[in-house]
A and B are shown apart, each in its own frame.
Chain A
Amino acid sequence: MNGFIFSSLTTIVPLGVIIYVSYRNLRALQKKGPWVPAVLFMFILTIWLATGFYWATHTLMMEEFLYDFSAMDIGENGLFLLMAALVGASFREPLPRDLPAFVTSFALAMGNALLWGVWNGSWLRDIIAGLFLWLLIYTLIRGLKQTGCMNRSTWIFFGVGSAGILLLQIATALTEGMISAVFDFSSEVFWFLGILYFIVRIVRFLREDLPEKGAVILACAGCTWVLCTMYMSSEPYYTIADLINVFMLLLMMLVLERKWGESI
């Protein structure tokens, strides 16, 4: 019974917060006028709400499994695309091509997708999702480079951290018992350090009113990092990341309100 109440709360509370963020975004659109990144953010919130309710309803109503490429998968892939479009729409000019970013983002996204495949066995679905994630990570890396909002040491931390997470997750999949749990926990430490970095940067931007021109891109990167954490984590880390993700959406709303109408 306690488990049911807890799982219901972890489903309902995030949906309530997302409804509030949607309301706030709609009000901002009404007051400040249309701005493409904000409208795309509205789409992101809608897709988030729709998939959230879909998951909750499906779990309540049906005992059967969800087919591959159901509304959940369509929604998740759509979310990656809309996030990438939001990053692209924040810039006045198209982002320049970048071969190293292209290759590293491919390695990172496909590494994630293959590990999802190992975990759930839906290889085709996961590889397709990995391709959309690739587009998002590639756009984010180019956007972050263009704005220069991350210094060299931070790039090294995220580069080494991402590679380390993939290796630790492979080790988790290959081992069993206590050793596997240790590898899994170590990778979660990396994930949550990354989340902490993004939250600190965004909160600092909001509190100290910093002239950060890449704040929107940073918020998108934070959301993506939390999404990746969710998709690569088992319970209880998944639920923690899910709750943090709602907080990230709230932060993103605040960043968009601060940067309304500005193009980089």
Chain B
Amino acid sequence: MIYSENILICITAPLLIAAIFLRGESRRFAVFFAVGMFICLLSAYISGFLEYAGVMDAKDIPLYLSPVVEESMKLLPLIFVLLVIQPPEDSLFLGAVALGTGFATFENCCYILTAGAENLAYILVRGLAVGVMHLVCVLMVILGTILARRTKTLSVAAFVGALSTAMCYHSLYNLLVSQPGVTSMIGYVMPLATVLVLTVPYRSIRKKI
């Protein structure tokens, strides 16, 4: 049993106080990072509730429901910012990166407190696999959001389609790492491989935008 709410308060308090002294993009990053952690906690509540309500077996929740819940929850603050503040694309992108990183960080913190941090190799895998996976998923969603803003027809379809892609990717990762062996190794490598594959075209495309 860990007290996740207490951990959240402990980690986000300095961040939020620091945000008072920060300006512009740095402040946005700090706030979204904290929001990402809060969203992680809310997602855990919802998944826990669904497990308690008996919607699925406990072992099936991470495979089938958690990806849907987590990706949808990560989207909510981004939609709020998009509709209320209507920031430029760069700010939206920065916010999404901070949100995904915050989500992954809090999830890793809770995991380490539950399972221990003795095994460095496993901790590295945890950081580079789950952490990066959340980042990749949130980047997919934000890219879909930016595309939807640029599309005159069926922008909602582009947006929901991108969200579906993130959900599928997350589900595939959870499925691969659910059992030890070769599949889990493939699962652990998948997020980092995706980032490596996407880095080169991403840099080139960003220059041309």
Residues on B with C-beta less than 8 A from A95 are: 153
A39 to B206, CA, bound (A): 13
0/1 per residue, B168-188, Cβ < 8 Å to A? Answer: 110110011011000100000
Indicate which residue in A33, A51, A54, A82 contacts B158 across the interface (CB closer than 8 Å): A82
Cβ of A114 < 8 Å from any Cβ of B?
no
Q: Which residues of chain A are within 8 angstroms of B60 by Cβ–Cβ distance?
A: 67
What residues on B are CB-neighbors of A30 within 8 Å?
200-201, 204-205
A88 to B148 alpha-carbon distance, docked (Å): 11
A residues less than 8 Å from B168 (CB atoms): 46-47, 50-51, 54, 71, 74-75, 78
Residues in chain A near residue B158, CB distance under 8 A: 40, 81-82, 85, 88-89
- Chain A residue contacts of B100, Cβ below 8 A: none
Chain A interface residue count, Cβ-Cβ cutoff 8 angstroms: 43
Top 5 A-B pairs ranked by shortest CB distance?
A: A78-B164, A88-B153, A71-B171, A82-B161, A88-B154
Known contacts A40-B158, A54-B171, A57-B175, A89 near B151 by CB under 8 Å: yes
Residue-wise, chain A 76-110 has the 8 Å CB interface mask toward B (1 for contact) of 01110110110111011111000000000000000
- Kindly supply a per-residue 1/0 record for chain B positions 142-171, scoring 1 wherever the CB is within 8 Å of any chain A CB and 0 otherwise: 011001101111110110111111011101
A135 sits at the interface (CB 8 A):
yes
Sample of 15 further A-B pairs with CB below 8 A, known A77-B164, A79-B161 = A30-B204, A34-B208, A36-B147, A40-B147, A43-B165, A51-B168, A61-B179, A71-B168, A71-B172, A74-B164, A74-B168, A75-B168, A82-B164, A84-B154, A87-B154
A81 and B164 form a contact (CB under 8 A)? yes
> Is B197 touching A26 in the complex (CB atoms < 8 A)?
yes
The residue in B56, B157, B209 that gathers the most chain A C-beta atoms within 10 A of its C-beta is B157
Q: Which residue of B lies closest to A22 (CB)?
A: B197
A67-B56, A70-B171 given; A94·B153 CB < 8 A: yes
- Residues on the A chain within 8 Å of B176, using CB: 57
**CB-based contact B172/A36 at 8 Å:** no
Number of chain B residues whose Cβ lies closer than 8 Å to a Cβ of chain A? 42
A27–B204 CA distance with the chains assembled, in angstroms:
10
Residues of B within 8 A of A53 (CB): 172
Q: Is B68 an interface residue (CB 8 A)?
A: yes
Is A29 at the interface (CB under 8 A from chain B)? Answer: yes
A78 to B166, CA, bound (A): 10
The verdict on A61 contacting B178 (CB below 8 Å), with A74-B167, A89-B153, A94-B153 known, is yes
Q: Does A213 contact B (CB under 8 A)?
A: no
B36 within 8 Å of A (CB atoms): no
Residues 88-100 of chain B, each 1 if its beta carbon lies under 8 Å from chain A, else 0: 0000000000000
A40-B147, A88-B151 given; A78·B205 CB < 8 A:
no
Q: Which residues of B contact A139 (CB under 8 A)?
A: 153-154
Residues of A within 8 A of B155 (CB): 85
Residue in contact with A88 in the complex, picked from B68, B157, B179, B183, CB distance below 8 Å: B157
Partner of B152, one of A61, A71, A82, A93: A93
CB-defined contacts of B183 to chain A, threshold 8 Å: 57, 60-61
Instruction: Please tell me if A125 contacts chain B, counting CB pairs below 8 Å.
Output: no
CB of A204 within 8 A of chain B? no
Query: What sequence of 0s and 1s flags, for each residue 121-155 of chain A, a beta carbon within 8 Å of any chain B beta carbon?
Result: 00000000000000100010000000000000000
Q: Which residue of chain B has the shortest Cβ distance to A31 in the bound complex?
A: B204
A258 contacts the other chain (CB 8 A): no
- Are the C-beta atoms of B201 and A39 separated by less than 8 Å? no
